[in-house]
């Protein structure tokens, strides 16, 4: 039963790449590699955005510090 489900998803999942490759006139392996590379790029892009926001928050905390009283100057 598990192997039947696996074969079904493999057949229909790879068929999407094959159909797209046929329309574009490319090989299916190139289309699959393109999707893999794009997924790594998007993950890396958002990781860069996360690091930039973390840096800005750290910088904001260093500049704007709360003082509890007037004598902390």
How many angstroms separate the CA atoms of 62 and 1, rounded? 59
Q: What is the pLDDT of residue 55?
A: 92
pLDDT tens-digit readout, 3-55: 899 888 877 777 888 888 999 999 988 998 999 999 989 988 888 899 999 99
1 three-state secondary structure: coil
Structure tokens at 59: 């910088």
Let me know: does 27 contact 21? Beta carbons within 8 Å: yes
Of 38, 1, 31, the C-alpha closest to 14 is: 31
Instruction: Tell me the domain boundaries of the chain.
Output: 2-63
- pTM of this structure: 0.54
Cα–Cα distance for residue pair 73/68, rounded to 1 Å = 10
């Amino acid at each position: 039963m598990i192997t039947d489900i696996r074969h079904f998803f493999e057949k229909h999942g790879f068929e999407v790449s094959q159909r797209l490759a046929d329309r574009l006139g490319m090989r299916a392996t190139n289309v699959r590699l393109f999707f893999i590379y794009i997924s790594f790029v998007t993950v890396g892009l958002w990781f860069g955005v996360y690091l930039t926001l973390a840096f800005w928050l750290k910088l904001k905390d260093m500049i704007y510090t709360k003082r509890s009283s007037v004598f902390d100057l």
